Structure 1
Amino acid sequence: MLTLHADSRGHAHLVRGEWIEAVGPLEELSAAHPHARVRVWPGILTPGFVNLHGNELLEETYHPDPREADTLGTEPLTGDALTALALDDARWGASARRGVQRMLAHGTVAAACEPLRNRAVRDAVRRTGLAVRGRQGRPAGTPSLDPLADGLLPDFPPPREPGSAACFAVFDVRDEEELTERGAETCVATVVGGRLVFRRR
């Protein structure tokens, strides 16, 4: 099935399966592919983020289940608070799934990691479809679900083009400058491998 994803500026990606088949103005692509499903999003299409702190956010952080909010709160837990939980594999796997969902909600399409040591986390991440990229050593900066938390625009994956993987995000901002100012919580949609894996309700 063909799907056209377009932003407020009229930029569009034509997606077939896991791949981008064409990029260009929405008007031209929709005329050339009149049977494609069309999704028009507010804001700007970008290639999505690579979060550089994959290990820290997935193996060294516990993302509480909403049902645990009364006892653990809703914010990610690290350090002594994490150590006190004595998590088993099932809870680590569930935490990793929630962590990935929160990363996707910030326009992340890939996480940079050293090899994941926790098997439950590794299996959970693999099932989500989030891309994992290698890294060497710990990156600078404070680990955050929002790759823009330090106020800097991080590296994006290469620009999307015909034949590239259908992995991108849409942020409800006017341009990249406003995205840097307001942060990745402005994400309205994230697509990974051609699948819409996050949509703001």
Structure 2
Amino acid sequence: MLTIHAAAALRRTTCGEPVPGDAVAVSGDRVAAVGPLEELLERYPGARVRRWPGTLGPALVHEGAVPAAPTPRERVHAVLRLGATAVLADRVTEPELLAAAGRTGVAVLDVPRQPALAPSARADLAVFDADGTCVATILAGRVLHRRA
């Protein structure tokens, strides 16, 4: 099912300026299109629409140490709560943590990359409120974290 994710504004890159009224259409685990919400609604009339508070953009790459938690699964979820869907390989050296990242779908990268929203890219998105707190994290089109 195609889903359109919309917020007050959208960043196409993590450093880009937020564009009010833009949104991202997601089909399965991929970005189908990025652009003005009204155009996406016309292009995909049967799409489900998720409206988020804050600014929507590409999910982050977590470059620091993976947060401490009682289990590897909880450590991976702590990364998702920060708005990240990728970690650096040199920070994920424990086999149990690497396995938990793999089961969840968190990307393990050899080098950092600049996340961007573009058609056919993996649909890794994050929503941040005005104070920078992560509201939601979408990994490969699936909402894996949503702040209550």
- Measured against the shorter chain, the TM-score band is 0.7 to 0.9
Q: What amino acid maps onto 2:114 in structure 1? A: P
- Structure 1 residues 2-45: Cα deviation after superposition (integer angstroms, max 9, x where no partner): 00001113221100011001000111101111100000111111
Question: Residue type matched to 1:187 in 2?
Answer: C
Higher fraction of strand: 2
**What amino acid does structure 2 have at the position aligned with 1:38?**
V
User: Kindly tell me: are residues 5 and 129 of structure 1, through their superposed partners in 2, closer, same or farther at Cα, counting changes over 3 Å?
Assistant: same
Q: Which structure 2 segments of 5+ residues have no match?
A: 9-19
Question: Does the 8 Å CA contact 1:5/1:14 hold for their aligned counterparts?
Answer: yes
Q: Which residue of 2 aligns with 1:4?
A: 4
Deviation string for 1:123-173 (max 9, x for gaps)? 1121111111114xxxxxxxxxxxxxxxxxxx8733201111101101112
Residue 145 of structure 2 corresponds to residue 198 of structure 1: yes
The 2-side partners of 1:117 and 1:45 are apart by 31
SS of residue in 2 equivalent to 1:162: coil
Structure 2: how far apart are the matches of 1:162 and 1:106?
24
Pairing of 1:10-159 with structure 2 (within 5 A): 10-53=21-64, 56-57=65-66, 62-64=68-70, 95-114=71-90, 116-135=92-111, 157-159=114-116
- The amino acid across from 2:28 in the alignment is G
8 Å contact from structure 1 (residues 12, 29) kept in 2: yes
Q: Secondary structure at the match of 1:114?
A: helix
Q: Taking every aligned residue pair, what percent have the same amino acid on both sides?
A: 42
Rounded to whole Å, the distance in 1 between the matches of 2:26 and 2:80 is: 19
Give the partner amino acid of 2:109. Answer: R
TM-fit CA distance, 1:106: 1.2
Q: Where do 5+ consecutive residues of structure 1 fail to align?
A: 65-94, 136-154, 174-181
Is the Cα contact below 8 Å between 2:61 and 2:115 reproduced in 1? Answer: no
- Aligned counterpart, 1:144: none
Residue equivalent to 1:68: none
Tell me the matched-pair count: 137
Name the CA distance, whole Å, in 2 between partners of 1:41 and 1:115.
31
Q: Distance in 2 between matches of 1:4 and 1:167?
A: 13
TM-aligned CA distance change 1:116 to 1:158, over 3 Å: closer
Mapped to 1, the partners of 2:116 and 2:62 lie a distance apart of 16
For 2:98 and 2:35, the matched residues in 1 are separated by 37
Query: What value does the CA root-mean-square deviation take over the aligned residues?
Result: 1.9
Look up the match of 2:122.
165
Larger Cα-atom Rg: 1
Equivalent AA in structure 1 for residue 143 of structure 2: L
**Deviation, structure 1 residue 113:** 1.9
Report which of the two has the higher share of helix.
1
